[in-house]
Structure 1
Amino acid sequence: MEEAAELSNYLPLSYKSPKEQEYIAFLWESFETNYIHGKFQFAFLAYHMLTMSFVYFNIWQIKQTRPDDFENAMIGFNKDVEKELLAATSPFTFWRINESSVMRFFKLIGCDNSKIGSYAALVKERNDTAHTNGNIFFSTQTALDNKITEVLRIVAEIQNHSATIIEHCFREFLLHNHDPETREYADAADQIREVLIHANYLSQKDVEICLKFDINTFANEAEFPNIKLLFDAFVDLYSVDET
């Protein structure tokens, strides 16, 4: 079960509402309880829902960062669903789309059809597991652990493709939030926590991408000193001492 906990590093550090946070906590509790008591099939279902939450949060970041591309990618969806997604205020609105179909948004970050097909295969497996078909697909801990390893490989792959989205998000944050006189919070830590981390559903893995950002790309900006101060504040808050 220790390996399964790695998924938490791909989920947001904070949520926009207590309801969202309670939902994720409920799924983790369901997974852990069923895993400990040997109900591995039900543990898999909870873990799948956590994985789909990761998918929704990543697609939400695409929607926020590249809205025009996101809108174009919805061609073919029902008009009512399209309207609902464009007006959405929560990543969980994506539940309105078939789970296999929602994976196609990952084409926007460079995932090809073969990769998207492998992601969609997880959904089919969930469907087979959830239906009343007389089969227990995950009857042993080993079977579930092997599936978790596969899921985490896919999650890491999607995260790698998302790097450009996170880098763009972070760059825009630094560029537009460096002035204490005009931003929402004068204190840099508050601005980072609320406007960057909280508003964008950033995960620990997203933070790690931001920490690798080359601040010298702003060297020619007139406001570079203030931009660097904000970046340094971010590094101080989230860097991990590996010594």
Structure 2
Amino acid sequence: MDEATRIHDYLPTSYADKSEEAYIRFLWDAFETNYNAEKYEFANLAFHLLYMSYVCFSVWQIRAARRADFDNAMVGFQREVENKLATAETPFKFFENLKESAIFRFIKLVGCSNEQVGEFSKFVKQRNRIAHPSGNVFFNSKENIDEQIEKVMTEIDNIQRHMTPVLHDCLQTFLLENADAEVWEYSLPEDQIDAALIHPYYFSHKDIDACLDFDISALDKHADAGPIRELFDIFKVGYPPDR
């Protein structure tokens, strides 16, 4: 169970609306309840949906930071599907138009190999196998489910390591677009950071941790370098890695 709780660090700290947050909370409650009741098959199904939600949030960030690459990755999709993926208002809309395993083609945009993507997507095949009547219970012991959770978290760690450049791009876009406090929606920088960075990009604690290492000196030659650095410093103070 301790290994499973790590997934919270990879899930957003805020959501577009309360229904999304309630959905993630429901999945965790379903996992925890079934795990404690030794209904490990159902616990695995709930944990799988948490994993796929994490993948959705990552693809959302990729679309935001690498839009041209994202559009190119849709080559071969029907035009209607392309339009829906391009205009999806939330990460959860991606699955309305894609087979579950197809979402992983976008993970390749952060430098993952076909072999790695195969490792990421193998859990979909496993889930499909147990989601249909088979006469077998595949996860019938604590050892089985704990081993599966460890494997899932290993792949989440692997995806997250590849996401750092994308997250830095999201942060840089935020800093450049918000260098002028006169255009802020909110008067307090902390509120502006929440509204224009943490919330729209669905940042998790792990995402925030990765952004604390952003090389702000890369923007030293920008005309608004001073305000940009000040905003970044406020971000670092407001979102320390310890939690």
What is the aligned partner in structure 1 of residue 110 from structure 2?
A: 109
What is the aligned partner in structure 2 of residue 188 from structure 1?
A: 189
TM-score w.r.t. length of structure 2? 0.96
What is the aligned partner in structure 1 of residue 150 from structure 2?
A: 149
Q: CA offset at residue 183 of structure 1?
A: 2.1
In 1, the alpha carbon distance for the partners of 2:171 and 2:212 equals 10
Task: Decide whether the 8 Å contact of 1:180 with 1:187 is kept in 2.
Answer: no
What is the aligned partner in structure 1 of residue 128 from structure 2?
A: 127
What is the aligned partner in structure 2 of residue 20 from structure 1?
A: 20
What SS does the corresponding residue of 1:184 show, helix, strand or coil? coil
In 2, the alpha carbon distance for the partners of 1:120 and 1:220 equals 42
Runs (4+) of structure 1 exceeding 4 A deviation are none
In 2, the alpha carbon distance for the partners of 1:233 and 1:70 equals 31
The Cα RMSD (Å) is 1.2
What is the aligned partner in structure 1 of residue 240 from structure 2?
A: 239
Task: Decide whether the 8 Å contact of 2:41 with 2:137 is kept in 1.
Answer: yes
TM-score w.r.t. length of structure 1? 0.96
Q: Deviations over 1:95-143 (max 9, x none)?
A: 1311111111111111111111111211000111111111111000110
In 2, the alpha carbon distance for the partners of 1:89 and 1:137 equals 36
Instruction: Kindly provide the amino acid, as one letter, of the partner of residue 218 in structure 1.
Output: L
In 2, the alpha carbon distance for the partners of 1:101 and 1:140 equals 31
What is the aligned partner in structure 2 of residue 52 from structure 1?
A: 52
In 2, the alpha carbon distance for the partners of 1:114 and 1:90 equals 28
What SS does the corresponding residue of 1:162 show, helix, strand or coil? helix
Q: Deviations over 1:154-212 (max 9, x none)?
A: 00111111111000110111122122112222210011011100011011110001111
What is the aligned partner in structure 2 of residue 61 from structure 1?
A: 61
In 2, the alpha carbon distance for the partners of 1:114 and 1:240 equals 32
In 2, the alpha carbon distance for the partners of 1:192 and 1:183 equals 10
Q: CA offset at residue 77 of structure 1?
A: 1.6
Count how many residue pairs are aligned between Structure 1 and Structure 2: 242
Unaligned runs of 5+ in 1: none
Q: CA offset at residue 78 of structure 1?
A: 2.5
What is the aligned partner in structure 2 of residue 223 from structure 1?
A: 224
**Change in CA separation of 1:68 and 1:5 when aligned onto 2, cut-off 3 Å:** same
In 1, the alpha carbon distance for the partners of 2:122 and 2:110 equals 19
In 1, the alpha carbon distance for the partners of 2:122 and 2:223 equals 50
Unaligned runs of 5+ in 2: none
Q: CA offset at residue 238 of structure 1?
A: 0.6
What is the aligned partner in structure 1 of residue 41 from structure 2?
A: 41
In 2, the alpha carbon distance for the partners of 1:210 and 1:106 equals 19
Bigger mean CA offset, 233-242 vs 219-228: 233-242
In 2, the alpha carbon distance for the partners of 1:185 and 1:79 equals 38
**Matches for 1:159-174 after TM superposition, within 5 Å:** 159-174=160-175
In 2, the alpha carbon distance for the partners of 1:100 and 1:37 equals 30
Q: Deviations over 1:213-235 (max 9, x none)?
A: 12222222232221111011101
Q: CA offset at residue 38 of structure 1?
A: 0.3
What is the aligned partner in structure 2 of residue 89 from structure 1?
A: 89
Is residue 2:77 matched to residue 1:74?
Answer: no
Identity value in percent = 44
Q: CA offset at residue 241 of structure 1?
A: 5.4
Task: Decide whether the 8 Å contact of 2:209 with 2:241 is kept in 1.
Answer: no
